[in-house]
Amino acid sequence: MNQNCRCAGTPTRQLSPDFCQCYKEIIEVPVLSQGVRNVGVPLSLVTKANGFVFVSGTPPFDLETGKFIRGDIEAQTEASLRAVQHCLESAGTSLDKVVMVRVYASNAGFYAVINRVYARFFPENPPSRTFVPVASWPMEFDIEIECVAVA
């Protein structure tokens, strides 16, 4: 906790010891954070703030190499969700604490396949979700998944 927190408009002594509105921590995700840096994208893959974990749009990363997985949309969806799971675990949380997911896909026709794979990762009480078809992006993959979870 930042002992000098003033952003809440409340004197620090009145704040709970586990709460600070200006708290932010960048989480280094083994292998994947370096993979993002290698591609040259200026972002943090995982940020923890105010009791939540924010996972940036995560493409189908290979968890051992940090490189993109090639393959059909089923293989890419599986890889993206495993990468998201790895990101969450690196931040000390898990898929069962996810409250919101956004799935970006290069083709709306992938919807049914993505749903089948997604259901294996969220079999009960799935989080809120938005599916966003995108026209194009500058990388060679067909899916990217972001989420917000309780820390």
What pTM was estimated for this model as a whole? Answer: 0.86
Place of tokens 């709460």: 19
Count of residues making up the chain = 151
Beta-bridge partners for 68: 61
In a structure prediction context, what are the per-residue pLDDT tens digits for the chain, which is 151 residues long? 444 455 555 554 555 555 555 679 999 999 999 999 998 999 999 999 999 999 999 999 999 999 999 999 999 999 999 999 999 999 999 999 999 999 999 999 999 999 999 999 999 999 999 999 998 888 899 999 999 999 9
* CATH placement of domain 22-150: 3.30.1330.40
Task: Map out the domains of the chain as residue ranges.
Answer: 22-150
CA distances from 102 to 2, 12, 31, 84, 128 (A): 31, 35, 23, 12, 9
pLDDT of amino acid 2: 44
